[in-house]
Copies of this chain bind each other. A is one copy, B any other.
Amino acid sequence: MTHLSQQRCTACHADAERPAAQELATWLAELPQWQVIQEQGIPQLEQTYRFPDFLTALAFTQAVGQAAEATGHHPCLITEWGQVTVRWWTHAIRGLHRNDFIMAAQTDELYHRDFGSAVPSSSPQG
């Protein structure tokens, strides 16, 4: 099986078939750092990445945002001092689609490739 991060997003419309629970479980097992949360009744994939300062966090937001725009699938990016929380879900089906797991896997790759050497700090600033 091709790893999620090597797969491509497909177009997704409101009438697209929702993934079966077994599919979701299989994909989630490939992404142990990601959690499924509920936001206003909508399941979303969420992970918080740590950074040594604000500017590195901001650069990660920019990089994930550019990758998202290139794919045409857009996350919620919560940028704070020393951390960025990324949430993926599919607006069209108000839930999780295979595309979200693909983008989550690619977000992990981007982090480890370009930001993996950043040492997190535990002292946020005002």
Residues of A with Cβ closer than 8 Å to B? 12, 54-55, 58, 61-62, 65-66, 68-69, 72-81, 90-92, 99, 124-126
If A78-B77, A81-B74 touch, whether A126 touches B65 (CB-CB below 8 Å) is: no
Asked if residues A124 and B79 are in contact (CB atoms below 8 Å), the reply is no
Cross-chain contact of A58 among B12, B65, B73, B80 (Cβ < 8 A): B65
Q: How far, in Å, is A14 (CB) from chain B's closest CB?
A: 9
Asked if residues B65 and A79 are in contact (CB atoms below 8 Å), the reply is yes
Cross-chain contact of A125 among B66, B91, B124 (Cβ < 8 A): B91
Asked if residues B90 and A61 are in contact (CB atoms below 8 Å), the reply is no
Asked if residues A55 and B79 are in contact (CB atoms below 8 Å), the reply is no
